[in-house]
Amino acid sequence: MQDAIAAVRSGMSRKAASIKYKVPRTTLLERISGKHTSKVGHPTVLTKEEESLISETLGTVSDQK
């Protein structure tokens, strides 16, 4: 989505950007016009640090088996 928005802002048509980046034209238009300002996808539950700690712990446990 960010690449499509950047392409439109640098001169590509909305239709061409929506086809190239496989995003709906209406969604792209709404994002560009500011109607939707939220992040794409679900909000995260864990911080990056928590994710890293869990990943490292699981890696350590799996290495012990």
pLDDT tens digits for range 16-53: 999 999 999 998 998 888 876 666 678 889 999 999 99
Domain containing 17 equals: 1-39
Residue 48 falls inside a structural domain: no
pLDDT confidence of residue 37: 63
Number of domains making up the chain: 1
pLDDT confidence of residue 32: 87
Residue 50 falls inside a structural domain: no
CA atoms within 13 A on the CB side of 35: 7
Residue 35 falls inside a structural domain: yes
46/37 Cα distance (integer angstroms): 22
44/47 Cα distance (integer angstroms): 7
* Two structure tokens written together for 19: 């086809």
The residue with greater pLDDT, 58 or 41, is 58
Alpha-carbon torsion (32, 37, 43, 47), positive or negative? positive
Please tell me the pTM assigned to this model. 0.52
pLDDT confidence of residue 26: 92
